[in-house]
Amino acid sequence: SQTIHQWPATLVQPVGSPLSLECTVEGTSNPNLYWYRQAAGRGLQLLFYSVGIGQISSEVPQNLSASRPQDRQFILSSKKLLLSDSGFYLCACDRGRSNQPQHFGDGTRLSIL
């Protein structure tokens, strides 16, 4: 089964600083990868997804970007963080077959000061 590693677990950054969150997957090849954001007390919002290396789709306009330099690596980035980027970021993966559920990493709690 898949294992998803996310780091760091928590991060405190000043407004205007850059960001790089990393997600790696073990136990599967050619997965679909996803970045979600969860604002405090709310549900998950899909930010980006990727069906292959170098293929990124954005779901909502925002200050963030994503990249997939390797098959099992998914990176969430920003050049200049905003206060509104604070939240809990979750990486997820699945095998691309609709009857298989998504599995999630442990998440990164990002606080912008």
Partner 1 sequence: AQTVTQSQPEMSVQEAETVTLSCTYDTSESDYYLFWYKQPPSRQMILVIRQEAYKQQNATENRFSVNFQKAAKSFSLKISDSQLGDAAMYFCAYRSAERQGAQKLVFGQGTRLTINP
Q: Which residues bind partner 1 (CB under 8 A)?
A: 32, 34, 41-46, 49-51, 57, 59, 88, 90, 92, 94, 96-107, 109
How near is the Cβ of 79 to partner 1 at its closest, in Å? 25
How near is the Cβ of 65 to partner 1 at its closest, in Å? 17
How near is the Cβ of 24 to partner 1 at its closest, in Å? 16
Q: Which is nearer to partner 1, 13 or 102 (CB)?
A: 102
- Contact (CB, 8 A) for 82 and 14: no
Name the 3-class secondary structure at 57.
strand
Q: Which is nearer to partner 1, 34 or 72 (CB)?
A: 34
Residue 85 neighbours by CB under 8 Å, 6+ apart: 19, 63, 64, 78, 110, 112
CA angle 67, 69, 70 (to 5 degrees): 130
